Structure 1
């Protein structure tokens, strides 16, 4: 490994170098993720990312060539699933940098685990697109194994059926808390998911990528029973010329499932995407989702285009 590289924790001042690194990775890995400095700053100010204790960045001069960071869970039962994120600039791969970052990430995960949930079992998770070259070899060499698969699905918005449902209303500040609570209840049994406190909801969901006019709540018998949240990354549109509506959250209360609520929300959102000038709708689904979500999305016209792997150690 080169001895002239600088290794240090990430800071909030690293937003632009982080975006530059991620965009250089995207040029080779082609996973459909482009970033601005504002986007990466959102990740750096994550309330459950302890940069001093649990991040590491690698610099060649002023250029960030690799990084890792940990996100711990504010709440957990039985298992504390810590998320390890990271990457290496394509020109600096196969030099041992990725191995050192993964090892540092696992050690940092243990530190945060001991601070926040010492009585539980620790699981370190990495969520990445399956096709990224060399990733499987790196992670398996460090004791990680695949535990779950996710499909990215796309809808071209060329054959959208008209939709109108009086039970559906758009997001507004007055119903934001209903959205958050509904998400927490709807995702309670989803693999690796824990409730989002207000601070994390504001950081991850209602940030600069959130699209209020494309996010909807459905009331069933007066109960806030289903919601759909849409996000959009301007950097993606600038890089590809394609304006994507990312359906990031689609959730229905367990007590109100099998009533067509998810299908109604998706149909409404697809129609809104056409009306608002989007070119494509995207979403991600757990291949082992027990609620039948994959079939719902297929029937709505989505097709699988890319597989992601959840690795665990």
Structure 2
């Protein structure tokens, strides 16, 4: 890597997760005025059987201090961050070049990553020739907002998933997400690592809607985030899906309302989630009172 004098690079290892979180959190705080990433996001993502952190991640160091990082996750997803106090020294450009080379070594033809719209990272990637693939939004149900009941059709029920239903939960989620996401099907082992293996996971966090026959036809997966600063605990719905043949019955709204209410019962003051322009679901979330808190763009380039 073409780095400034005095900086070094090496492959990442699992024990670097906290340092990577610190860099990503510092960058988000500088760019968004808040921290949205959690250390648990990194730990669970790196724990996927399909991911080799040392083969697919790199860190930039000033002595023993991590000041920048990048990773490539197949088929075409990258992530990177630079400590804001080290910006303007070419680290981001070097990490972007590493990411393109790494993507090419895995046979990818394109690589992209999400960045806050209008941020220094957005401007850097634009200057390097990265084009916007899609936009995404982080939304939040504000503190104290009313949670209005959304009735279910006769015979349907919303409840905590039984662990024996986790493979069915995975199927509903993947079937729905692959309608608009161009990628290979996520394995159940990867899904289990990210969801059930996530630090802080509890069974109540997997919510399902069942049809009159008791079959899982809708899913909401959430977690509780306790920020390092003075902000209150927040729930985050990471996955929301309804089987195609069960849509337009109000099941998604019923799942969200249930997830919000259960999260409050477990100490969350606000509730968040993210969506992007490929899904067309932004209006659905706004209907239940959620407000956009940040806008991101996914910029990509051919490799």
SS in 1 for 2:76: strand
Gap change, CA 1:160 and 1:245, over 3 Å in 2: same
Residues 1:228 and 2:220 aligned together = yes
Per the TM alignment, residue 224 of structure 1 is displaced from its structure 2 partner at its CA by: 1.4
Q: CA offsets, 1:175-230, max 9 Å, x none?
A: 11111111111112123454221221122222114443243111123231111110
SS at match of 1:309: strand
1:54, 1:112 within 8 Å by CA — same for their partners in 2? no
User: Aligned partners of 2:85 and 2:233: how far apart in 1?
Assistant: 29
TM superposition score normalised by structure 2 = 0.88
Residues 27/285 of structure 1: CA separation in 2 closer, same or farther (3 Å cut):
closer
Q: Which moved more, 1:60-69 or 1:180-189?
A: 180-189
> Counterpart of 2:286 in 1: which secondary structure?
helix
Aligned to 1:110: 104
Structure 1 residue 312 corresponds to structure 2 residue 303 = no
Deviation at 1:158, TM superposition (A): 2.2
SS class of match (2:109):
strand
Q: In structure 2, how many angstroms separate the alpha carbons of the residues matched to 1:140 and 1:277?
A: 41
Check 1:162–1:260 CA distance in 2 against 1; reply closer, same or farther (3 A cut). closer
Seen in structure 2, the aligned counterparts of structure 1 residues 155 and 196 have a Cα distance that, compared at 3 Å, is same
Could you tell me how far 1:163 is from its partner in structure 2? 5.9
Question: Gaps spanning 5+ residues in structure 2: where?
Answer: none
Contact 1:55/1:108 (CA < 8 Å) preserved in 2?
no
Q: Give the aligned length.
A: 292
Does the 8 Å CA contact 1:84/1:124 hold for their aligned counterparts?
yes
For residue 51 of structure 1, what is the aligned residue in structure 2?
A: 53
Match of 1:150 in 2: 136
Counterpart in 1 of 2:36? 33
Report if aligned partners of 2:149, 2:254 keep a CA contact under 8 Å in 1.
Answer: no
Question: Where in structure 1 are there 5+ consecutive unaligned residues?
Answer: 73-80, 114-120
Find the aligned partners of 2:247 and 2:151 in 1 and give their Cα distance.
20
Distance in 2 between the 1:304 and 1:40 partners? 24
Determine which structure has greater relative contact order: mean sequence separation of CA pairs < 8 Å that are 6+ residues apart, divided by chain length.
2
Quote the residue 1:96 is aligned against. 90
Question: Is the alpha carbon distance of 1:87 and 1:258 closer, same or farther for their aligned partners in structure 2, counting shifts above 3 Å?
Answer: same
Alignment match, 2:207 = 216
Shift of 1:33: 2.3
Which 4+ residue blocks in structure 1 deviate beyond 6 angstroms?
A: none
The equivalent residue for 1:137 is 123
Measured after TM superposition, the shift of residue 162 of structure 1 is 4.4
Which residue of structure 2 lines up, in the alignment, with residue 277 of structure 1? 267
CA–CA distance in 2 between the matches of 1:205 and 1:155?
22
TM-score (norm 1): 0.85
